Amino acid sequence: MHLRVKYPNGGWWFFTPIYASPIEERRRLLWDDLTALAQHITNPWMLAWDFNDIMILCVAGPKFTWRGPIFHGGQRIFERLDRALCNDQWRLEFPNGSVKVLTRLEFFDHHPILISPTEAPHPMAPKQFKFESAWLLDDTYNKMLKQCWKGDIDMVHNLHIVERDLK
């Protein structure tokens, strides 16, 4: 598969998702095909996913992207088989682009890869509110709760009011 990714602002680049064969001879055919394809691409281009080949590349996230089955004795093989490669044009077009290996999903033996062509802001989740049982010991807690809690509104709204007042 070979895709053309287009942005609303009119910019575009090529993307080729890879799932290489674990059999070396077939994998060599893929590399030959990719080499031939690369000779005709002068636009930004990225290839990503499972190359089934061991290489050293720097990315953010977990060190390994694949885990094998558990063998006798409880041993397991871990490798970095998934990666993203790009040409110079892609790097020039997206100088703040990044690749991050995400947390592996339980039902899958590979980690997903997140490709961000532009610098993506890292959203900060709001700090989760936690009830402190020590508040129950404070004399003012019961009074505050009675003042905040309204019998004519739903429980979720009441809890938001209590949370706001406790903060």
pLDDT per position as a tens digit, 25-64: 888 898 899 899 999 999 999 988 777 665 546 555 655 5
Residue 128 lies in a domain: no
pTM beyond 0.75: the answer is no
Domain hosting 22: range is 3-116
Same domain, 51 and 106: yes
Residue 140 lies in a domain: yes
Q: In terms of DSSP bridges, do strands 78-79 and 66-67 run parallel, antiparallel, or are they unpaired?
A: antiparallel
Residue 22: per-residue pLDDT = 82
Residue 122 lies in a domain: no
Note whether 17 and 50 are within 8 A (CB).
no
Q: For the chain, which residues score pLDDT lower than 70?
A: 52-72, 76-82, 107, 109-110, 119-125
Residue 28 lies in a domain: yes
Q: Quote the number of domains for the chain.
A: 2
Residue 91 lies in a domain: yes
Same domain, 22 and 73: yes
Residue 15: per-residue pLDDT = 92
Same domain, 7 and 87: yes
Can you tell me the distance from the alpha carbon of 85 to that of 19, in angstroms, rounded to the nearest whole number? 14
Residue 44: per-residue pLDDT = 93
Note whether 63 and 80 are within 8 A (CB).
yes
Residue 33 lies in a domain: yes
Residue 47: CB partners within 8 Å, gap ≥ 6?
A: 15, 16, 17, 18, 34, 84, 85, 86
Note whether 53 and 80 are within 8 A (CB).
no
Same domain, 15 and 87: yes
Can you tell me the distance from the alpha carbon of 150 to that of 37, in angstroms, rounded to the nearest whole number? 68
Same domain, 102 and 69: yes
Residue 139 lies in a domain: yes
Same domain, 45 and 15: yes
Orientation angle between helical segments 155-166 and 139-148, nearest 10 degrees: 140
Same domain, 104 and 23: yes
